[in-house]
Structure 1
Amino acid sequence: MMARSIPPSLLCAIMIIACFNSSLSFAKQSKINGLKMNVIDRCWRPNPKWRTHRSQLATCSVGYVGKMTNNIGKDLIHYTVTDPSDDPINPKLGTLRYGASVIQGKVWITFQKDMHIKLEKPLLISSFTTIDGRGVNVDIANNACLMISKATNIIIHSIRVHHCKPQAPGLVMGPKGKVVPLGHMDGDAFRLVTASKIWIDHNTLFDCQDGLLDVTRGSTNVTISNNWFRNQDKVMLLGHDDGYVRDQNMKVTVVYNHFGPNCNQRMPRIRHGYAHVVNNLYQGWLQYAIGGSMQPSLKSEANLFIAPTTGSKEVTWRKSSHKNGDRWEFHSVGDAFENGASFAVTKGRHVPKPNYNKEQSFKVVDAKFVRSLTRSSGLLRYNRASIY
């Protein structure tokens, strides 16, 4: 018996309804995902066409970095890394160093495929550069790592940096396409020196010889967000040393990051400047989670601190000083504490406000939602159509 054919008018109606339901389904799913996402991710991840609208990311940053709209525009250069090799003095077209150091102007760097990059010398990144690893798995590991020196307006997004090693002094392609001498490097994943307006988002950092992230020598207007820091002794340093008073002007936002497991100290350690540490997940520590010296100002807000099973339950550490040991500004506002965690606050003083402008401000979420806000921290998983 032959099946009856469907009239064209009915078939058309069925297709319209199917498309409408599909659109509704996507919209509903996007709304559900949006509720689970933090404000940065909600800005771009629900868009199914994010791959063809990558520069939308530049409008999604919050905190002291502000919006990264200086990184986009009609004069934007799109550059694809096709070659994982590295030549620190004469980088080849197609390599990461060529895009980050040789090309000048606004550069948006993506990667053709999964790749493991072993840098022969530290990578110096030019101003107005975006390194966008979304959609592939990019590892920078097992030797030199990343440095931002005297540069501004830089985004580093969705890469994995680990097993960074100390580097002897030597020559390297500089951020203006000129070969420059570079001194000894300690083995940090990211080192910022006299840098400003830097956004480090959704990276996974671990197992480096020295630290994972240093913000030093007058660097300011930095946002560190959605990263996963794990398996590390010294995690994050804000401020060069006790004698470098220029870091008094340093302002850093640390938001939606996941610290742990197996992190020891410096999440962050602050000297001189100001840090707004907000909506982060702390999965234990050995020595301490947040510490500092030289009169730093800290507003710890709506974080979740889960103390280790054994050892110190105290979140904070203060370097003793006869001159200024009584002038700390460490404040906890709306933080949540589990497993016996405690926070030694500064008493009898005002809570320092971040004083964000309109571009920088964002809503702080109740600490009970921190697990959800940070569940996608680090390098994002992906499939052909979307990012999770």
Structure 2
Amino acid sequence: MVSHGIKFVFWRFVLAVVVIVIFTPKFSSAKQSKLVGLKMNMIDRCWRPNPEWRRYRQQLAFCSIGYVGKMINNVGNDLIHYKVIDSNDDPINPKPGTLRYGASVIQGKVWITFQKDMNIKLMKPLLISSFTTIDGRGATVHIADNACLMIYKTTNIIIHNIRIHHCKAQAPGMVMGPNGKVISLGQVDGDAIRLVTASKIWIDHNTLYSCEDGLLDVTRGSTDVTISNNWFREQDKVMLLGHDDGYVRDKNMKVTVVYNHFGPNCNQRMPRIRHGYAHVANNLYLGWMQYAIGGSMGPSLKSEANLFIAPKVGSKEVTWRKDGYKNVDKWEFYSVRDAFENGASFVVTKGGSVPKPNYNKEQGFKVVDVKSVRSLTRSSGAFRCSRTSIC
């Protein structure tokens, strides 16, 4: 049994090396010259310098870091390439060519791209099947003005380069489920992206703002999540990690929050964490109104090399702890190599040791000096990729 396990790990490594080699063509000197001077974070440096990224989209699956690990289960010879050509939406009988058909009806490994710029108004929340990648590169894609995304009891999902905003709460109703069958869905809050009992989820390079409830919720036992390179702005409640104070299953939750840009005009929850563990590293915080990082129920959080720029007026304190919480001594909020401007401050847990992320080899990454955070988050959010050059 041990030898079989070693062989399995070895061939996974060989496959990763072969794919990276295939996906990395030789650049002409003219194209190489365009890359000079660009300072990119570890994720972007993995795929953005490739001017042939359109031909090698699946290279992205090998670029993720943090608790999500590498997304190699989303690629392979059995991958289905699906292109969205129709911005309309039917929540019960999705038509081929629409986003819902590719994300909910088709099962297996699906890589979704978009034929052109689109404004998609979802009639009901979009429930995304396991092993699905929604890749908005090469088009300006908005999901806005009604229902938004739900990742419900599924795994191995990438959401990349989408603008999600003005999401609204939804009444109970029937909708195509993530297994390709119509299901009954209860009332849904107006979140941009909500994870429910989901695992191995990568949310990268999206722009999220102005939703009725929150921008990103990781709830009900969801874990192994990486939230990277996103731009969160114009929002009261930004990011919730953990369902509620009584949902103890979230003690197993592990989330990486890295290279994101928070602000302007964000109020609170960047993130708010319950029960579980979060590694928050190399993010830019452009002010807050109530607080930046907070939570309840004995959460563990390592804040590492983030830049916190306090608002000119109002609260300068980064952290918040729920009033009346009895087990204050169980809190583990640590600040390591963070930088604070405009009078920002961080109340840390006294004594004890800083909890480490304990990443495995494929999850690990180097947290850079906080002096580089501004440049490493400069491209956060969704971007438009030129047809003739890099993104």
Asked if Structure 1 and Structure 2 have the same fold, meaning a TM-score greater than 0.5 normalized by the shorter chain, the answer is yes
Q: How big is the alpha-carbon RMSD for the aligned residues of Structure 1 and Structure 2?
A: 1.0
Aligned-partner SS, 1:385:
coil
- Cα offset for 1:23? 3.0
Does the CA-based 8 Å contact 2:31-2:51 persist in structure 1?
no
Distance in 2 between the 1:334 and 1:26 partners?
Answer: 37
Distance in 2 between the 1:89 and 1:149 partners?
Answer: 17
Distance in 1 between the 2:324 and 2:104 partners?
Answer: 42
Q: How does 1:71-150 map to 2 (within 5 A)?
A: 71-150=74-153
Query: Would you say 1:63 and 2:66 are equivalent positions?
Result: yes
Residue identity matched to 1:294 = M
Aligned residue number for residue 204 of structure 2: 201
Among 3, 19, 28, the alignment partner of 1:23 is 28
Between Structure 1 and Structure 2, how many residues are aligned? Answer: 365
Aligned residue number for residue 267 of structure 2: 264
Does the CA-based 8 Å contact 1:274-1:296 persist in structure 2?
yes
Aligned-partner SS, 2:67:
helix
Aligned-partner SS, 1:175:
coil
Residue identity matched to 2:311 = P
Among 248, 251, 255, the alignment partner of 1:252 is 255
Among 37, 41, 60, the alignment partner of 1:32 is 37
Q: 1:71-90: CA deviations, max 9, x gaps?
A: 00000000000000000000
Query: Would you say 1:330 and 2:333 are equivalent positions?
Result: yes
Among 50, 53, 68, the alignment partner of 2:53 is 50
Q: 1:310-334: CA deviations, max 9, x gaps?
A: 0000000001345312211000000
Distance in 2 between the 1:54 and 1:321 partners?
Answer: 49
Distance in 2 between the 1:358 and 1:67 partners?
Answer: 10
Aligned-partner SS, 1:369:
helix
Q: 1:146-191: CA deviations, max 9, x gaps?
A: 0000000000000000000000000000001000000001100000
Distance in 2 between the 1:357 and 1:326 partners?
Answer: 29
Distance in 2 between the 1:45 and 1:360 partners?
Answer: 20
Among 273, 284, 287, the alignment partner of 2:287 is 284
- Cα offset for 1:32? 3.0
Aligned residue number for residue 353 of structure 2: 350
Aligned residue number for residue 372 of structure 1: 375
Does the CA-based 8 Å contact 1:380-1:387 persist in structure 2?
no
* Percent of paired sites with the same residue: 79
Q: 1:83-142: CA deviations, max 9, x gaps?
A: 000000000000000000000000000000000000000000000000000010000000
Aligned-partner SS, 2:46:
helix
Aligned residue number for residue 239 of structure 1: 242
Among 335, 359, 363, the alignment partner of 1:360 is 363
- Cα offset for 1:25? 4.6
Among 184, 188, 192, the alignment partner of 2:187 is 184
Aligned residue number for residue 18 of structure 1: none
Distance in 2 between the 1:330 and 1:268 partners?
Answer: 12
Distance in 2 between the 1:68 and 1:213 partners?
Answer: 20
Aligned-partner SS, 2:368:
coil
Aligned-partner SS, 1:52:
coil
Aligned-partner SS, 2:60:
helix
- Pick the structure with greater CA Rg: 1
Aligned residue number for residue 12 of structure 1: none
Q: 1:14-34: CA deviations, max 9, x gaps?
A: xxxxxxxx933533543532x
Aligned-partner SS, 1:26:
helix
Residue identity matched to 1:297 = S
Distance in 2 between the 1:150 and 1:268 partners?
Answer: 22
Q: Give the alignment's TM-score, normalised by structure 2.
A: 0.92
Residue identity matched to 2:215 = L
Aligned residue number for residue 168 of structure 1: 171
Aligned residue number for residue 298 of structure 2: 295
Distance in 1 between the 2:288 and 2:234 partners?
Answer: 10
Distance in 2 between the 1:28 and 1:332 partners?
Answer: 39
Q: 1:272-319: CA deviations, max 9, x gaps?
A: 000000000000000000000000000000000000000000000001
Query: Would you say 1:226 and 2:225 are equivalent positions?
Result: no
Distance in 2 between the 1:381 and 1:273 partners?
Answer: 35
Q: 1:35-75: CA deviations, max 9, x gaps?
A: x1000000000001000100000000000000000000000
Distance in 2 between the 1:195 and 1:135 partners?
Answer: 28
